Structure 1
Amino acid sequence: MLPFAELHLHLEGTLEPEMVFELAERNRVALPWRDADDLRGRYSYGCLQDFLDLYYANMAVLRTEADFAELTDAYLARAARAGVVRAEVFCDLQAHTARGVPAPVVLSGVADALGRAEADHGVSAGLILTFLRHLPAEDAARSYAEAIATGVDLLGVGLCSSEIGFPAAPFADLYARARADGLHTVAHAGEEGGPDSVWEVLEHLRVERVDHGIRAMSDPELVRHLAERRIPLTVCPLSNVRLRAVGELSAHPLPAMLDAGLVACVNSDDPAYFGGYLDDNIAAVTDAFGLTPDQVATLARNSIEASFLPAADKQRLLSTVPA
């Protein structure tokens, strides 16, 4: 099995329907769905907002430090089975504090599981604090301060949620603060929004990686810029199909991205909602595009290169991928 880094993964998006009901019973949360099958049957989305409505509603069952640790550990166990050796995962802290769950509860639970990831699952891990771009930048700044105050180690910061109508530029000062604190920077762009959305996060937020970025392909100048500077794109094929960013998998630009020399890698985004973890995504694109073993190895190498691992650790992992 090839080693992969997973770099675009929302922990809240790994909340499987069965766990939703288990945690609801544990925490005495009333749910509007009959059972896990009823909930899963509602995972059909006309747009990003349809998904987000369910995504945020299901979070209501996450209440305690143990809940967050269990959620994170379950993802890590599944990721290890998929060949993931490095996971740089997102946590939407604002979505939890807004419903009354304190930052130390959320982040301590996540950090507990991440701290045991290598020993328990053979997966090295880092935590990226994601800001919700549909909320004011001032709210994100408060969330960042709360996260720093917990003392939990952060790998980086990110920006997620709806692109359309919610520009990234207002978050520039917060990103500058995070860089000054020694953190890495990423941001969602080019999923809903066009190439201008990608340019914006590159120019205003100075991100090191672009999450999604599939609409960059319509701008040749942007493609050249990304290729020349080796700026990675964390692509999520099954997510893109389920959220109708592309009509069907065969229309996905992943092959064109690889042909253009982009550092594109495959990730699962919110696998409980989109029908597949990393191995499912790799299998789907391999089948859809007839990828050769060399091309799949390129995806593995790209994922490791795009990670925020120290150079020596990258080289160690890259040496295990067939040339």
Structure 2
Amino acid sequence: MPVHNLSTANLINSLPKAELHLHIEGTLEPELMMALAAKHQVTLPYSTIDDVRLAYNFDNLQSFLDLYYLGASVLRDEDDFYRLMWDYLCKCKEENVVHVEMMFDPQTHTERGIDFAVFMAGFTRAMAQAEKEWGQSSLLIMSFLRHLSERNAFDTLTAAAPYLPMITAVGLDSSELGNPPEKFTRVFAKAKELGLMRVAHAGEEGPPEYIWSALHDLDVHRIDHGVRSVEDGALMKELVSRQMPLTVCPLSNIKLCVFDHMNEHNLLTLLEHGLMVTVNADDPSYFGGYLNDNYHALAAHLPINKQHIKTLASNSFKASFLSEEKKSHWLNQISNFDAD
């Protein structure tokens, strides 16, 4: 039976949702960062948790990435990666995020001498436990760091070979400017040969041309971010025609100065032009909110109604790598919520 008379806030909290643009290393909360630093005797330039939070003021993507990689340096053993993943999946349970497709950055760890065996064991142990305890659905996306070389990406894909049954897709993240998608055309072609799905960050800091390149050179199934697509009318038509999903991250866009204020965000414009827009948290510890926080921020600052919210939640499943049967299950669940 339909659920009637839910407020906008309750609808956001109650709807089943999928999250498709989430960097697991970006869920590292200051408390866990400091605890693991103490555990491993890692020296950080912070004395207290408040000092860490004060550092979460970014001028641009690079200033965030500098802190992001520093934070990741405290992740050393299997239990660290298990705890990182477990804490995030518990948050999903709280927020009714029933399916997640999480990005992880192996090069961030292998460059520190930490083997795939260490982080993959920690991640998959937490994922299996969450699935067993409350039916949490989750998939992994292995992201290449675009500021590193094509050769490094190929080496990472080779090192991942024993773990490919645990990995659904490859992605492309890190510093966008100066590192266009076509730099990794051959790596993505190899990933496609191996049966992996493909996503790529484009059109956040980078121009619309980067979105075109992700579509044509990388043959992606989703564009991560993509908010600058509005600058190119032909691109907008292409994205609508393909129903190419955009995994938009509102709080991230504000924190990284893509938009000055949430009331300037173009998510509603993208949605009303017929694009397959989804809402995601990106790096929630650093950007001030998990998935529901992003929905609530949009509702507070844009003229978004309950039907928009239902559409965004539905899009999150349509754009996912779930089976058609599982997509239909969750889409039916959403249709039982009365948006009036």
| TM-score, normalised by the number of residues in structure 1 | 0.98
1:254-301 CA-to-partner distances (Å, cap 9, x unmatched) read: 010110111100000000000000000000001111321111000000
Q: Is the 8 A contact 1:111 1:152 kept in 2?
A: no
Question: Following the alignment from structure 2 to structure 1, what is the Cα–Cα distance between the partners of residues 130 and 220?
Answer: 26
Of 217, 232, 250, which aligns to 2:245?
232
**8 Å contact 1:15–1:272 — kept in the other structure?**
yes
Cα distance in structure 1, aligned partners of 2:267 and 2:189: 31
Report the Cα distance in structure 1 between the residues aligned to 2:242 and 2:73, rounded to whole angstroms: 41
Amino acid of the structure 1 residue aligned with 2:27: T
Q: What is the alpha-carbon distance in structure 2 between the residues aligned to residue 48 and residue 241 of structure 1?
A: 11
Structure with more relative contact order (C-alpha pairs < 8 Å, separation 6 or more): 2
Residue 2 (structure 1) aligned with residue 15 (structure 2): yes
Residue 219 in structure 1 maps to residue 270 in structure 2: no
Shift of 1:120: 2.8
> 2:76 matched to 1:63?
yes
Deviation at 1:155, TM superposition (A): 0.7
Distance 1:24 1:152, change over 3 A: farther
| Aligned twin of 2:334 | 321
Provide the secondary structure at the position in 2 that maps to 1:162: coil
Rounded Cα–Cα distance in structure 2 between residues aligned with 1:151 and 1:189: 24
Query: What is the CA-CA distance between 1:116 and the residue it aligns to?
Result: 2.4
1:191 aligned onto 2:204: yes
**Which residue of 1 is the match for residue 33 of structure 2?**
20
RMSD between superposed Cα atoms in Å = 1.1
Partner deviation per Cα, 1:191-233 (whole Å, 9 max, x = no partner):
0011101001101000000000000011111111111111100
Q: Match of 1:246, SS?
A: coil
Amino acid at match of 1:65: E
Tell me the equivalent position of 2:58: 45
- One of 76, 86, 89 as aligned partner of 2:89: 76
1:120 alignment partner in structure 2: 133
**Structure 1 residue 89 corresponds to structure 2 residue 99:** no
Asked whether 1:179 is paired with 2:189, we answer: no
TM-score (norm 2): 0.93
SS at match of 1:7: strand
| 1:176 Cα offset (Å) | 1.2
Quick one: distance in 2 between partners of 1:118 and 1:318?
Answer: 20
Q: What displacement does 1:134 show?
A: 0.4
SS where residue 130 of structure 1 aligns?
strand
* 2:154 maps to 1:141: yes
Structure 2 alignment gaps of length 5 or more: 1-13
Partners of 1:142 and 1:62 lie apart in 2 by: 22
Runs of 4+ in 1 over 4 A off after TM superposition: none
**Matches of residues 263-282 of structure 1 in structure 2 within 5 Å?**
263-282=276-295
User: 2 CA distance for matches of 1:155 and 1:106?
Assistant: 16
Q: Which residue type is aligned with residue 189 of structure 2? A: A
8 Å CA contact 1:134–1:161 kept in 2: the answer is yes
Helix, strand or coil for the counterpart of 1:244? coil
Structure 1, gaps ≥5 residues long:
none
Give the SS at the match of 1:9: strand
1:259 to 266, 269, 272: 272
The residue identity in structure 2 corresponding to 1:47 is N
* Matching of residue 106 in structure 1 with residue 119 in structure 2: yes
Distance in 2, Cα, partners of 1:107 & 1:152? 11
Tell me the secondary structure at the aligned position of residue 61 of structure 1.
Answer: coil
Given that 1:3 and 1:321 are in contact with CA atoms closer than 8 Å, whether structure 2 keeps it comes out as yes
Cα distance in 2, alignment partners of residues 288 and 83 from structure 1: 23
Preserved contact between residue 214 and residue 253 of structure 1 (Cα < 8 Å): yes
Residue 203 of structure 1 corresponds to: 216
Number of aligned residue pairs: give it: 323
C-alpha distance in structure 2 between counterparts of 1:270 and 1:250, whole Å: 21
- Please state how far the C-alpha of 1:26 moved relative to its aligned partner: 1.6
- 2:146 paired with 1:130: no
Q: Distance in 1 between matches of 2:63 and 2:292?
A: 25
Greater alpha carbon shift after TM alignment, 234-243 vs 171-180: 171-180
Q: Give runs of aligned pairs for residues 27-42 of structure 1, distance below 5 A.
A: 27-42=40-55
Contact 1:4 1:84 in 2 (8 A): yes
